[in-house]
Structure 1
Amino acid sequence: MDHDDDDDLDGLDEDQLAALTAIRRLGEVVERMPWFSRIGEPLDETDRALAQRYLDMLGFPDATPVPVMDWAEAGDAASSTDLNSEAWEVEEQLRADLSREALMQFDEESLSDTLSFIAEAAGPQIVEATANAASLWPIEEPEVIEAATGAAVQACYQAALVLAAQAVEDHPFGLKFRLFERGRWPIGLSGRTFNIF
């Protein structure tokens, strides 16, 4: 789908147009976001409130947001986040549910093109931002930078999927995206600790 071509909007109903408009705005937002600008800082009240709301909506109200202070600690936290954990499985189920809902609004090719548009819009800014953030203090493992970059691109994809499915505003993926929007890297759950760089 060419997102600059108004002809692509012909035949879409009001809900579809609203979703595409929201996703295009998201594309503009991700290009201006202060990616990773507050990593390593203490969590402020808004960070904690967003993180706790994310945990509540994800189904882990007993988990605690914990700040990560440097890249080495972020690498340890990222490597300890089990890809087959309960939280990972919940997010995968949420992604599958959103995909089904979005495919009730859009055909598979249009949805894929739309989500790719967001990743392409975000990618260059995220890569530059992670490089800038990594230059602020020494880091020995480049895979940590790759993990941060991948997590940010994934958050954009998930946020776009929320919009395409016209899901609730307080969807966990939307809340996690807002943490990125605040310059943080919400790394993930390890046990009952929600690590945030």
Structure 2
Amino acid sequence: MDDDDDFDGDFDDDQVAALTAVRRLGDVVARIPWFSRIGQPLSDEERDLAQRYLDMLGFPDAAPVPLEDWTEAGDAADSIDLNSEGWEVEEQLRADLSRAALDYFDEDTLADTLGFVTEAAGPVVVEAIASAASLWPVEDDAVIEAATGAAVQACYQAALVLAAQAVEEHPFALRFRLFELGRWPVGLSGRSFNIF
């Protein structure tokens, strides 16, 4: 994806706006302070974002819970059941956004658009997590893989929000914002939203 003026003439103004927003997201991921605040107490802004995420996800009775170290983060990541309520809601949101995005773009264009962001994010996230792990050693490589996968997935979801032109504040945008603040929102387990 190049400059706004370089988009093919086959796209209308709404499509160009969405593609431009996704391109800018690809630039943003390179400047995010990935994993820079892991293990620190949650700030008021982080608590507010986390609670808004939970409210919009449909779990207002859940609460953000800070994790103190890589071991806790790994245990929390391992405890996320792929068939849990939170996981199912996120999957439904992803499916809804995918359908909405396909109202604007054909499958190939959408795949290329989302792929652009994940390809931009991958190396940046890998470098950032390696740096974080060198400062605060990690005993289990699986934790590093889980954190890396979660960050790249958050970029994909944020790009999907933009491609679908979701006009309201979306849970995926709020989750991505937590990553932007240097956190790893590990996920919902029971009524705890674990954040490293």
User: TM class, shorter-chain normalised?
Assistant: over 0.9
Query: Which residue in 2 is equivalent to 1:132?
Result: 131
- CA-to-aligned-CA distance 1:109-159 (integer Å, 9 cap, x gap): 000001000001111110000111111222111010000000000000000
Distance in 1 (CA, whole Å) between partners of 2:39 and 2:179 is 13
Which residue of 1, 4, 9 maps to 2:2? 4
Supply the distance in 2 between the matched residues of 1:15 and 1:90 (Cα, whole angstroms): 28
Q: Per-residue deviation at 1:4?
A: 2.6
Question: Match of 1:52?
Answer: 51
- Aligned match of 2:177: 178
- Structure 2 residue 81 is the aligned partner of structure 1 residue 82: yes
Per-residue deviation, residues 27-81 of structure 1 (Å, max 9, x unmatched): 1100111000000000000000000000000000000101001001100010011
SS in structure 2 of the partner of residue 65 of structure 1: strand
Query: Cα offset for 1:9?
Result: 2.4
Give the secondary-structure state (helix, strand or coil) at the position aligned to 2:65.
strand
Residues of 2 paired with 1:120 and 1:78: CA distance?
Answer: 23
1:34 is paired with a residue whose SS is coil
**Aligned-partner Cα distance in 1 for 2:167–2:140:** 38
Distance in 1, matches of 2:37 and 2:167, equals 27
In structure 1, the residue matched to 2:24 is 25
Give, in whole Å, the separation in 2 of the partners of 1:185 and 1:138.
Answer: 16
Whether 2:91 is the aligned partner of 1:98: answer no
Query: Would the aligned equivalents of 2:30 and 2:121 in 1 still touch at CA under 8 Å?
Result: yes
AA at the equivalent of 1:24? R
Percent identity between the two aligned chains: 75
Give, in whole Å, the separation in 2 of the partners of 1:37 and 1:9. Answer: 38
Amino acid at match of 2:118: A
Q: Counterpart amino acid of 1:196?
A: I
Matching residue's letter, 1:109: D
Q: How many residues align?
A: 195
Partner of 2:160: 161
Cα distance in structure 2, aligned partners of 1:18 and 1:66: 37
User: Which amino acid in the other structure matches residue 20 of structure 1?
Assistant: L
Distance 2:115 2:84 in 1: 27
Structure 1 distance, partners of 2:168, 2:123, is: 27
Give, in whole Å, the separation in 2 of the partners of 1:67 and 1:175: 17
Q: Using the TM superposition, give the Cα deviation of residue 165 of structure 1 relative to its aligned residue in structure 2, in angstroms.
A: 0.3
1 CA distance for matches of 2:28 and 2:145?
22
| Unaligned residue ranges in structure 2 (runs of 5+) | none
Letter in structure 1 aligned against 2:193: F
Partner of 1:107: 106
- How many Å apart are 1:11 and its aligned residue? 1.7
